[in-house]
């Protein structure tokens, strides 16, 4: 083989090798998003209501995977575990509500709760909701837990507050609220949960966490 042919063949091999190691701009993969943060490409409001809005989002999930999601955005809600320890510290009484829920098509036993106004401080909202729905005010407040009820499509954060030192008053619920409330022993609520009589997520989460803490405290 001539020297000229050898050089030509060598050049072709180098060119083929380069084409394998350097993909063209059309086939080059998109730069991945952060391993811990998403990259929002677009967000469109497809429904706007008085309580929430529905968005259709296009994004890169953490790690770079493309995705499209329909998400309900909400200002957030507060839940109040209002406790009366005046008769027993080991088995206190809890303020419970009983009301009809159209989405569940049944009456549910629940803790007092409500939505936050835009920009409203959660503690301010919790105090307002407790007094509006039950008439009770509390002398002592502290955060208990925060959670997301259905994070697959619902962006509503629910902040639970423990309210102690209750002072009774007159309830003044909103026009569309028809709420019956009463004080129920913590032990009785736990029994209701075990029997499946309580199906409300915020009540299950909050009561069982509180019962666990009370149990640990009195074992010491």
Residues carrying an active site annotation: 177
Three-state DSSP class for 23? coil
Three-state DSSP class for 141? strand
Three-state DSSP class for 18? helix
CA pseudo-torsion sign 198, 127, 177, 83: positive
Q: Determine the Cα–Cα distance for residues 42 and 50; give it in Å rounded to an integer.
A: 23
Under DSSP, the state recorded for 154 is: B
Angle in degrees, CA 160, 162, 163, rounded to 5: 130
Give the tokens for residue 2.
Answer: 């001539």
* Backbone conformation region of residue 137, classed left if phi is above 0, alpha if psi is from -120 to 50, else beta: beta
Q: Determine the Cα–Cα distance for residues 215 and 90; give it in Å rounded to an integer.
A: 8
Q: Which of 160, 114, 119 is nearest to 141 (CA)?
A: 160
Cα radius of gyration rounded to whole Å, the chain:
28
């Amino acid at each position: 083989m001539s020297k000229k042919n050898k050089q030509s063949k060598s050049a072709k091999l180098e060119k083929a090798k380069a084409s394998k190691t350097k993909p063209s701009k059309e086939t080059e993969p998109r730069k991945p998003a952060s391993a811990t943060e998403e990259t929002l490409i677009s967000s469109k409001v497809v429904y706007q209501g008085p309580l929430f809005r529905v968005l259709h989002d296009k994004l890169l999930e953490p790690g770079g995977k493309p995705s499209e999601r329909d998400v309900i955005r909400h200002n957030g809600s507060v839940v109040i575990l209002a406790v009366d320890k005046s008769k027993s510290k080991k088995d206190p009484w809890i303020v419970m509500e009983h009301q009809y829920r159209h989405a569940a098509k049944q009456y549910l036993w629940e803790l007092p709760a409500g939505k936050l106004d835009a920009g409203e401080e959660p503690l301010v909202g919790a105090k307002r909701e407790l007094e509006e729905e039950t008439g009770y005010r509390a002398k002592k407040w502290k955060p208990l837990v925060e959670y997301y009820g259905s994070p697959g499509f619902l962006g509503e954060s629910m902040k639970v507050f423990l309210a102690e030192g209750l002072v009774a008053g007159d309830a003044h619920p909103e026009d569309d609220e028809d709420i019956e409330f009463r004080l129920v022993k913590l032990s009785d609520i736990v029994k209701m949960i075990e029997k499946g009589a309580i199906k409300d997520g915020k009540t299950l989460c909050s009561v069982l966490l509180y019962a666990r803490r009370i149990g640990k405290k009195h074992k010491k």
